[in-house]
Amino acid sequence: MSLSVYIKLAVASIKSRMEYKASFIVFLLTVITFYSAQIVTIGVIINRFKTIGGWNIGDMAFLYSLLILSQSNVTFLFSGLLDFSNHVREGTYDRFLIRPVSTLGQILMGGFELSGFAHVAMGIITFLFANSLTNIHWNFLNIFIFILVILGGSMILASIRIIIAAIAFYSINNQALVHLFVFSSREFLLYPINIYRSELKFILTFLIPLGFINFYPAHYFLDKTGEGLFHPYIIFGTFPVGFVLMVVALLFWKKGQKDYESAGA
């Protein structure tokens, strides 16, 4: 029953976006152009300095592909959370509460975003380019770990969106936090975080664990020495960190929903 409702919501969201096909195509091209510009910028820097923090162009491309592939899953399923504060502010969140299915599920499927395909395309292209410049041996174990890393990275990014959205239950308007933690913070992952000051590296590891999305797991695949890591086994932490953070995010969402007061209250 619930699954069919979620599917219908996702289909309705897709149909809504496809009503304006030209706008949708322009948006896809904008996404591709944005990522292409980032790739070109990194390429120019690498061409000038040859390496960044000991990472060459192949390493950097692999680092970037991990980020984009993780981001693609989040774009598909969690885009509906970006404007969640509007529901709280306008009181339209109340209608989600009276339906016999998960409120979070309704918001996610109601905001299902097809532009995730653009992220997938860019991620695959970057991954293939990186694979041609690196010596990663893709045996069964490495493929399995790669899948876990993408899932873990997706959970980390998704958890951040859930937490920021849940803050709207208390603050009403959370757009500043959305721009800071959902969009701006990802800029740090375009480069290996070992180039940043130790304080920032600590934050990106233990407070806002974005480093687990690409920097730490890349050490395993690229067979890097791990110099400067907090602990050698931290390179295997992506999936566990993502899982724990998702549990925390869902608990915070439930707490926020429990404390929610309708705009008409």
**Terminal Cα distance for the chain, rounded:** 31
- Cβ 212 vs Cβ 237: under 8 Å: yes
Which among 62, 77, 250 is positioned nearest to 163, based on CA atoms? 250
Q: How far apart are CA 78 and CA 34, in angstroms?
A: 20
Is a pLDDT exceeding 70 seen at residue 17? no
pLDDT of 1 higher than 60: no
Q: What angle do CA 23, 120, 10 make, to 5 degrees?
A: 60
pLDDT tens-place string over residues 124-144: 988 998 899 898 999 999 999
DSSP symbol at 224: -
CB 72 within 8 A of CB 119: yes
Split at pLDDT 50, 70, 90, the class of 118 is confident
User: Amino acid letter at 77?
Assistant: L
pLDDT band at 227 (very low <50, low <70, confident <90, very high): low
What's the predicted TM-score (pTM) here? 0.90
- What pLDDT was estimated at residue 4? 74
